[in-house]
């Protein structure tokens, strides 16, 4: 069985976020700490894998083959899950062979790696891309980059009840929307499906427009048949995927010192900085209550030291 019992998964705590720029604007934010569910299979990565693993079980597959970069949080969580639960994993990586802390972990977890170059990786959306890989690994189930697609989104449906069960502890009766970083848009799409228009979902794009996040979200929502989806996407990429700048790094350092909240610069840091900018621009009325999702990825901070 590739798909383990969900009993191993502890609930992610929902915590109030206390920062000066929030209190000065009269905005309340609670942060869903998905980074705290597990030291290795962390953040939203496990939720995006759940339905893919179930599909692999139904296909009698012996493991998973998927894609990512040299700092991929998705491949890191997948390789760690494979080692822990005893199934084979293969990673198809962007670019040329390099050693990063993430790659070293993938190797230590037993993941078989193939480097596709940059042109080979760009071909991942083309028809027929998977055929040679499925011929080479007929016992493995293919999973899109980042655990994407409708199965990945469905695995994120449980985030909504996870939050609602903890609202009372915050003294909240309800919330006004979600805010999270988007790399593929899969988690955002899952929340859009779960909410079905009840609350808006705001996605801070950590990647440029040419990564096709908007199209992927639209495709998932259409496939799921959601009527009147409520979501918005905002550019938070700061000039490109994995681009960081002094303002972002200073913001992360100040936020960690003020709140003790660990952030990383590719996703959570960019998303929270974008929220600060929108709050200070007056986008949200006083009294607004938002759920911010900490999508994990803290292992990737090692590549920026």
- The residues that are catalytic are 72
User: What span, in angstroms and rounded, lies between the C-alpha atoms of 193 and 49?
Assistant: 17
- The tens digit of pLDDT for each residue in 46-71 reads 999 999 999 999 999 999 999 999 99
Q: What is the mean pLDDT of residues 75-93?
A: 97
CA neighbor of 136 nearest in space, from 97, 92, 87, 70 = 92
Q: Where in the chain are the domains?
A: 14-38+152-303, 44-147
User: What span, in angstroms and rounded, lies between the C-alpha atoms of 260 and 3?
Assistant: 34
> pTM for the full model?
0.94
pLDDT of 229 over the 60 cut: yes
Two tokens at 109? Answer: 């977890």
What percentage of the chain exceeds 70 in pLDDT? 98
Contacts 24+ apart (CB under 8 A), 19-23: 19/255, 19/258, 19/259, 20/258, 21/276, 21/279, 21/280, 22/279
- The tens digit of pLDDT for each residue in 124-142 reads 989 999 999 999 999 999 9
Assign 5 a pLDDT band (cuts: 50, 70, 90): low
- The tens digit of pLDDT for each residue in 196-214 reads 999 999 999 998 877 789 9
User: What span, in angstroms and rounded, lies between the C-alpha atoms of 64 and 118?
Assistant: 22
Q: Cα–Cα–Cα angle for 147, 149, 152, nearest 5°?
A: 50
Are the folds of 14-38+152-303 and 44-147 the same? Answer: yes
Return the CATH number of the domain spanning residue range 44-147: 3.40.50.1100
Strands 28-33 and 14-17: antiparallel
More reliable by pLDDT, 255 or 3: 255
User: What span, in angstroms and rounded, lies between the C-alpha atoms of 290 and 293?
Assistant: 10
**Contacts (Cβ under 8 Å, ≥6 apart) of 119:** none
Return the CATH number of the domain spanning residue range 14-38+152-303: 3.40.50.1100
CB atoms within 10 A of CB 107: 14
Two tokens at 286? Answer: 């006083």
């Amino acid at each position: 069985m590739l798909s383990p019992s969900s009993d191993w998964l502890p609930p992610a705590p929902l915590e109030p976020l206390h920062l000066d720029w929030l209190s000065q604007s009269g905005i309340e934010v609670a942060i869903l700490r998905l980074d705290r569910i597990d030291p290795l299979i962390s953040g939203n990565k496990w939720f995006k894998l759940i339905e893919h693993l179930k599909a692999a079980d139904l296909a009698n597959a012996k493991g998973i083959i998927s894609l990512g970069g040299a700092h991929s949080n998705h491949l890191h969580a997948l390789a760690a899950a494979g080692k822990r639960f005893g199934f084979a994993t293969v990673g198809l990586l962007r670019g040329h062979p390099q050693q990063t802390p993430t790659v070293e972990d993938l190797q230590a977890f037993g993941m078989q790696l193939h480097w596709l170059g940059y042109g080979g990786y760009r071909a991942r959306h083309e028809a027929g891309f998977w055929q040679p890989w499925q011929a080479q690994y007929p016992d493995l189930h293919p999973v899109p980059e980042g655990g994407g697609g409708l199965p990945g989104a469905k695995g994120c449906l449980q985030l909504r009840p996870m939050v609602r069960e903890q609202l009372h502890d915050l003294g909240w009766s309800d919330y006004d929307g979600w805010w999270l970083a988007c790399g593929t848009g899969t988690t955002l799409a899952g929340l859009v499906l779960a909410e079905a228009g009840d609350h808006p979902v705001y996605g801070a794009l950590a990647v440029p427009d040419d990564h096709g996040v908007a199209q992927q979200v639209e495709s998932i929502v259409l496939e799921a048949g959601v009527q009147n989806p409520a979501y918005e996407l905002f550019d938070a990429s700061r000039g490109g995927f994995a681009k960081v700048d002094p303002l972002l790094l200073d913001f992360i350092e100040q936020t960690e010192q003020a709140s003790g909240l660990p952030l990383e610069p590719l996703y959570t840091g960019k998303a929270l900085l974008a929220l600060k900018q929108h709050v200070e621009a007056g986008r949200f009325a006083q009294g607004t209550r938002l759920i911010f999702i900490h999508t994990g990825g803290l292992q990737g901070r090692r590549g920026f030291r």
